Amino acid sequence: MAIISDIQEEQQQKTPETKSASASGSASASASSSGARVGATSFSTKFDRNNTSGFLEKALEFLAQESDFMRRPTAERDLVAIFKAVREKERKKMEEERKKRWAAEEEKKKKEAEVKAKEEAKAEPKVVEEKSGKRVPNKGNGLDMEKYSWTQSLQEVNIIIPVPAGTKSRDIVYEAKKNRLKFGLKGQPLIIDGELYQSIKPDDCLWSIEDQTAVSILLTKHNQLEWWKALLKGDPEIDTQKVEPEPSKLSDLDSETRQTVEKMMFDQRQKQMGLPTSEEMQKQEILKKFMSEHPEMDFSRAKIQ
């Protein structure tokens, strides 16, 4: 239902007298027969969402019958102005609702990121230490530290450092030299600051922010034939005999380097099983050949050095 009650020509009493009229025009007929109208006039009709033009037409007809609005020279211009004002009001309303939804979504993402960061910060790294005092490497052949974790291949070292959600590049403090690494956030104590376990190629190193919740640092090793026992000198060391390189990476190496890596992997497996390394096996073969050539000699006390 719609009510138009803004048409009032004269008020003769303190309490206005109201007359009702239906869309058929009974109210207008009564008003015209009685002369001057007193108080406000009501307008009623059904609103059909499928026929909004019909509703507007009836409303304008009622307005024409009950006032001189439609006879004014500015009537058309005034209607256009009213239409524009209503449309602008609706546009602002929709824009405001969109901004509220966007702000709510951003706030939700921010809270989820903060919760995730807190959980990761509270999570203590799983440390497995052997009798030798060296630690078992993580799945990436590195170690999980208190404030960061690092992994490695023969060619590179990758460091993952959790940072507060929304961290920007301008907030980062980073310096990589041949034998030293610094990393932290501006205005806070450095997270990493020390001498690297082995030298790197600074020009081939880089860092990036991952999902605005962590920083990834990639260091290129200078010596690409050895596993690092630690990221920084003085840090807890891993047992490199427990390192498990990815076999698929061997195909990326040249022939000489690949043979060296395969030999290292073989020797590590042999040591883990308490068996002789390739060098020890070679010495044994030489000794056996020498013994077969000199049966007259006593080799009962012979030892392989």
Highest mean pLDDT range out of 218-232, 273-287, 288-302? 218-232
Q: Compute the average pLDDT of residues 203-214.
A: 92
Specify the amino acid at residue 103.
A
R_g of the chain, CA atoms, integer Å: 43
The mean of the pLDDT values for the chain is: 80
pLDDT value, residue 46: 82
| Position 249 confidence tier, pLDDT thresholds 50, 70, 90 | low
pLDDT more than 90, % of the chain: 34
pLDDT value, residue 288: 82
3-state helix, strand, coil in the chain (%, to 5): 40, 20, 40
pLDDT value, residue 26: 39
| Position 251 confidence tier, pLDDT thresholds 50, 70, 90 | low
Q: Could you tell me where the DSSP H helices lie in the chain?
A: 26-33, 52-66, 75-122, 255-272, 278-293
Q: What is the torsion angle, in degrees rounded to the nearest 10, for the CA atoms of residue 223, residue 224, residue 228 and residue 234?
A: 20
pTM of the model: 0.44
> Of 124, 117, 160, which is closest to residue 142 (Cα–Cα)?
160
N-term to C-term CA, the chain: 105
Q: What does the alpha-carbon distance between residue 200 and residue 179 come to, in Å, rounded to a whole number?
A: 7
CB atoms near residue 84 (< 10 Å): 10
Highest mean pLDDT range out of 16-25, 157-166, 280-289? 157-166
pLDDT value, residue 273: 79
pLDDT, greater one: 71 or 262: 71
Residue 181 has pLDDT above 90, yes or no: yes
| Position 279 confidence tier, pLDDT thresholds 50, 70, 90 | confident
Q: Compute the average pLDDT of residues 195-202.
A: 96
Q: In angstroms, what CA-CA distances link 240 with 222, 253, 261?
A: 18, 20, 13
Q: What does the alpha-carbon distance between residue 259 and residue 253 come to, in Å, rounded to a whole number?
A: 9
pLDDT in tens, 139-158: 999 999 999 999 999 899 99
| Position 177 confidence tier, pLDDT thresholds 50, 70, 90 | very high
Please identify which residue in the block is written with the tokens 């590049």.
Answer: 169
pLDDT value, residue 131: 56
Residue 37 has pLDDT above 50, yes or no: no
pLDDT, greater one: 13 or 82: 82
Task: Give the bridge partners for 232, in sequence order.
Answer: 196
pLDDT in tens, 85-126: 888 999 999 989 988 999 898 898 888 888 888 777 665 555
> E strands within 115-262?
143-144, 149-152, 156-162, 172-176, 180-185, 192-195, 206-210, 214-220
pLDDT value, residue 191: 96
Q: What does the alpha-carbon distance between residue 78 and residue 116 come to, in Å, rounded to a whole number?
A: 57
pLDDT in tens, 38-61: 457 787 888 888 888 888 888 888
Do 130 and 138 meet the contact criterion of CB atoms below 8 Å apart?
Answer: no
Strands 149-152 and 172-176: unpaired
pLDDT value, residue 126: 52
